[in-house]
């Protein structure tokens, strides 16, 4: 396959969407300008070579991301996936495209706004759901999702509406939890010089937002889990989040209690709690019944759960079991070696 796309014979009128605007499912020439986030392409076109069409679509979106490229194609029963590091024309050739069979496809070119430039972060991602495999490709965002949160009246309505849409999607796919955040403490996150939101106001705003989300999530069988993040580690944007308002686990637990909804729980991230507050096992026992989801990573570097970090995770897992916790434990570490090996070790460590 050459670096110059050639015209397709009789492409017909497949349904094509380009994710320049999350509310738009068509190409807008008025918006034909360079952007700074990932390129996402989708097509549903029975009787057409959707893999090849997606290749050309990604080629046209190459300016949106140059780190990696991928295409997922489905025939309604299985998903064929090809992704790798590099430009679209480097990742795909005639042979690889010929192995992607189906009538619908999504493609992705990555520009990382968060996360390392590694093959494990290349998209689309394929995950198993109650309804079978699902492929997902998402657009990059200028701000992490935890910056503009429920604590700030400037953003709360938008955050609630976006979270409700996610709740609907999770309910349809059988996903049990949706993550929520307090948000950063600045009155205007784009201009911190304008001052901070007092804790009493920020926490009250967050409680109000969580009550609304809990009321919406409960009848749909979804739980909203609010995450506590550490603000101590400023060495890397994936290891700490200076400015995040919900940085004390006890205060976050109090917000959950005040929300007063069985569909609103605490996301207990052992890494963040350890960095920020410590006394992990005692707090797990104290928050019995409040914890709706758990994240783990090695401390202090947020790397593998191995002998180079300080948390003894078998004891942490046993404490969780003692409280009656029966949910998932998310392995949220940054690999420093082979990701599969690190993942397998983490599973062994946490399996008590």
pLDDT tens digit sequence for 70-127: 999 999 989 999 999 999 999 999 999 999 999 999 999 987 655 556 787 789 999 8
Output the pLDDT for position 14: 34
Output the pLDDT for position 115: 53
Within the chain, all domains assigned CATH 3.20.20.150 are found at 156-350
Of the pLDDT bands very low, low, confident and very high (cuts 50, 70, 90), residue 138 is: confident
Assess contact for 120 and 99: CB atoms under 8 A: no
Output the pLDDT for position 78: 93
39 beta partners: 109
Task: For residue range 255-277, list pLDDT tens digits in order.
Answer: 999 999 999 999 999 999 999 99
Tell me whether residue 324 is exposed, middle or buried, using C-beta atoms within 10 angstroms of its C-beta: 0 to 12, 13 to 18, 19 or more: exposed
Q: How far from 134 is each of 48, 91, 124, 223, CA to CA, in Å? A: 21, 22, 10, 21
Of the pLDDT bands very low, low, confident and very high (cuts 50, 70, 90), residue 25 is: very low
Q: Tokens for 348?
A: 């062994």
Assess contact for 255 and 206: CB atoms under 8 A: yes
Q: What percent of the chain has pLDDT over 90?
A: 70
Q: Per-residue pLDDT averaged across 42-69, rounded?
A: 91
Alpha-carbon distance 135 to 173, whole Å? Answer: 12
Assess contact for 227 and 146: CB atoms under 8 A: yes
> Hey, which CATH number is domain 156-350, 3.30.160.620, 3.20.20.80, 1.10.10.10, 3.20.20.150?
3.20.20.150
Instruction: For tokens 């689309």, name the residue.
Output: 124
Q: Per-residue pLDDT averaged across 310-331, rounded?
A: 96
181 beta partners: 227
Q: Per-residue pLDDT averaged across 165-169, rounded?
A: 90
Output the pLDDT for position 101: 94
Output the pLDDT for position 40: 92
Output the pLDDT for position 61: 86
Alpha-carbon distance 175 to 130, whole Å? Answer: 8
Highest average pLDDT, of 311-315, 331-335, 337-341, comes from 311-315
Output the pLDDT for position 27: 31
Assess contact for 163 and 177: CB atoms under 8 A: no
Superfamily for the 15-136 domain: Aminohydrolase, N-terminal nucleophile (Ntn) domain (3.60.20.10)
Assess contact for 242 and 177: CB atoms under 8 A: no
Output the pLDDT for position 143: 58
Is the pLDDT at 241 greater than 50? The verdict is: yes
Output the pLDDT for position 129: 82
Q: Where in the chain does DSSP place strands (E)?
A: 15-18, 39-44, 68-74, 79-85, 104-109, 125-129, 132-136, 177-181, 223-227, 264-269, 291-296, 329-331
Q: Per-residue pLDDT averaged across 43-50, rounded?
A: 94
Highest average pLDDT, of 159-173, 203-217, 236-250, comes from 203-217
Tell me the chain's radius of gyration from C-alpha atoms.
22
Within the chain, all domains assigned CATH 3.60.20.10 are found at 15-136
């Amino acid at each position: 396959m050459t670096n110059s796309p050639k015209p397709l014979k009789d492409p017909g009128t497949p349904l094509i969407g380009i994710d320049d605007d999350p509310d738009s499912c068509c190409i807008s020439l008025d918006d034909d300008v360079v952007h700074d986030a990932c390129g996402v392409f989708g097509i549903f076109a029975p009787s057409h070579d959707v893999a090849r069409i997606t290749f050309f679509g990604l080629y046209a979106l190459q300016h949106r991301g140059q780190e990696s490229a991928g295409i997922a194609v489905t025939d309604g029963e299985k998903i064929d996936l090809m992704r790798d590091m590099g430009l679209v024309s480097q990742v795909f050739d005639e042979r690889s495209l010929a192995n992607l069979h189906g009538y619908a496809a999504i493609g992705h070119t990555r520009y990382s706004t968060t996360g390392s430039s590694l093959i494990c972060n290349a998209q689309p991602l394929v995950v198993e759901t109650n309804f079978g495999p699902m492929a997902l490709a998402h657009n990059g965002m200028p701000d992490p999702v935890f910056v503009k949160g429920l604590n700030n009246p400037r953003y709360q309505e938008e955050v609630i509406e976006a979270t409700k849409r996610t709740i609907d999607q999770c309910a349809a796919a059988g996903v049990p939890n949706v993550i929520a955040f307090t948000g950063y403490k600045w009155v205007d996150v784009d201009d911190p010089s304008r001052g901070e939101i007092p804790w009493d106001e920020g926490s009250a705003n967050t409680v109000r937002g969580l009550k609304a989300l809990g009321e919406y999530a409960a009848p749909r069988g979804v739980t909203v889990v609010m995450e506590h993040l550490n603000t101590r580690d400023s060495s890397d944007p994936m290891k700490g989040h200076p400015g995040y308002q919900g940085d004390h686990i006890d205060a976050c637990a109090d917000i959950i209690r005040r929300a007063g909804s069985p569909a609103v729980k605490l996301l207990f991230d052992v890494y963040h709690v350890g960095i920020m507050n410590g006394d992990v096992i005692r707090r797990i026992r104290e928050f019995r019944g409040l914890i709706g989801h758990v994240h783990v990573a090695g401390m202090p570097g947020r790397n593998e759960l191995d002998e180079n970090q300080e948390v003894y995770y078998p004891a942490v897992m046993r404490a969780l079991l003692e409280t009656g916790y029966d949910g998932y434990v998310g392995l949220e570490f940054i690999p420093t070696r082979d990701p599969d090996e690190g993942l397998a070790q983490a599973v062994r460590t946490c399996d008590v």
